[in-house]
Amino acid sequence: MKKIEKVTELRQTISQLKKKGKSIGYVPTMGFLHNGHLELVKQARKENEIVVMSIFVNPLQFGPNEDFEAYPRNMEKDLQLAEQEGADFVFAPDVQEMYQGEPSITLNVTKRVDVLCGKSRPGHFDGVATVLTKLFNLVQPDKVYFGMKDAQQVAVVMGLVNDFQFPLEIVPVQTVREGDGLAKSSRNVYLSEAERQEAPALYKALLKGKTLIEQGERDLNTIKKAVEETITKETNAEIDYIEIYQYPELTEPENWSGDMILAAAVKFSKARLIDNITFAL
Ligand code: AMP
């Protein structure tokens, strides 16, 4: 496996691979890898001749009061894990390599962002769309792997790929969880021991909501209340949102048919956790 830090080297490498007609699977990450990230690599490994991962903590997608500086990083261990899982290249540029000076164009995501995390993280998805546009242009992947843990991100990227006609396929991968149900996340390290014990209640609450929907409940407040009840009873976390939408449109449920998402975000003392369940009705 090879680590690449410079754009020029990545371009040369991709150009050679393309000349040889190699298929490229791509896994964008911010590093501090866990089994969730590695599941994306595993799937990419199965479906492509070449697997490229990127590790880049993208400042553009962090708000002024968010954790860009404190975001956990461990490049040495990440490289080991990526290699073990069979990645061929890890592109790990520094911020200067990706962004030089003031941009002359900025992207503004207009759909699927006024709900869920987009609502409380203004500009976040603009930053995601910008960095992915650059990375897609550099890596020129055939398939790109995203985790459904960040289901709104998948929905926004579907819009980006569609609007800008990137010649690639988005492959959504199911959320990887700890044994007790907590979705794996680089930010789980921010949880205190007591919070770590409470945190699986988030998924448990979502499962309860999903069951209610499957049993025929259609009143949004009743469903949200049931989810809220489990979270407040079992944790000291503050609820940011509990929402139900059509997926991937992220519009209000109308006919209660097709793909749906039930999603929630909660704030513990240092960690904001998100989770969701998508299901078909
Ligand atoms: P991040 O490093 O947090 O930007 O995540 C990089 C990719 O890994 C994104 O597509 C995430 O959705 C995905 N990912 C993160 N956590 C998980 C998980 N628990 N299960 C599956 N995919 C995940």
Per-residue model confidence as pLDDT tens digits over 212-238: 999 999 999 999 999 999 999 999 999
Q: At what angle do helices 220-234 and 201-214 cross, to 10 degrees?
A: 160
**Taking the alpha carbons of 29, 25, 157, 3 in that order, is the dihedral positive or negative?**
positive
Pocket test for ligand 1, best of 150, 173, 190, 261 (most atoms within 8 A of CB): 150
Contact 18, 11 (CB under 8 A): no
Distance separating alpha carbons of residues 231 and 122, to the nearest angstrom: 25
DSSP-assigned states of every residue in 109-160: --SS-SSHHHHHSTTHHHHHHHHHHHHHHHH--SEEEEEGGGHHHHHHHHHH
User: One-letter amino acid identity for 96?
Assistant: Q
Closest atom of ligand 1 relative to the 150 alpha carbon: 12
Which of the residues in the chain have pLDDT under 70? Answer: none
Distance separating alpha carbons of residues 48 and 251, to the nearest angstrom: 34
| CA 35 / ligand 1 centre spacing (Å) | 9
- Please confirm, yes or no, whether 124 is among the known catalytic residues: no
| CA 55 / ligand 1 centre spacing (Å) | 12
| CA 27 / ligand 1 centre spacing (Å) | 9
Beta bridge partners of 274: 265
Residue 254's pLDDT is 86
Distance separating alpha carbons of residues 5 and 19, to the nearest angstrom: 22
Contact 217, 235 (CB under 8 A): no
User: One-letter amino acid identity for 68?
Assistant: F
Pocket test for ligand 1, best of 26, 37, 160 (most atoms within 8 A of CB): 37
Residue 208's pLDDT is 98
Instruction: Choose the catalytic residue: 4, 28, 37, 62.
Output: 37
**Which has the closest alpha carbon to 236: 268, 258, 274?**
268
For residue 183 and ligand 1, the question of a CB distance below 6 A is answered with yes
Distance separating alpha carbons of residues 12 and 19, to the nearest angstrom: 11
End-to-end CA distance of the chain: 43
DSSP letter, residue 183: B
For residue 116 and ligand 1, the question of a CB distance below 6 A is answered with no
Is the N-terminal amide bond of 248 cis, ω within 30° of 0? yes
For residue 40 and ligand 1, the question of a CB distance below 6 A is answered with yes
Tokens 């520094």 identify what position? Answer: 94
Which value, in Å, is the radius of gyration of the alpha carbons in the chain? 19
- The residues, ordered by sequence, that sit 6+ positions from 114 with a Cβ below 8 Å of its Cβ are none
Contact 231, 205 (CB under 8 A): yes
For residue 78 and ligand 1, the question of a CB distance below 6 A is answered with no
Helix (H) or strand (E) holding 17: helix 7-19
For residue 146 and ligand 1, the question of a CB distance below 6 A is answered with yes
For residue 50 and ligand 1, the question of a CB distance below 6 A is answered with no
Q: Which two three-digit tokens encode residue 153? A: 């991100």
Closest residue CA from atom 13 of ligand 1: 147
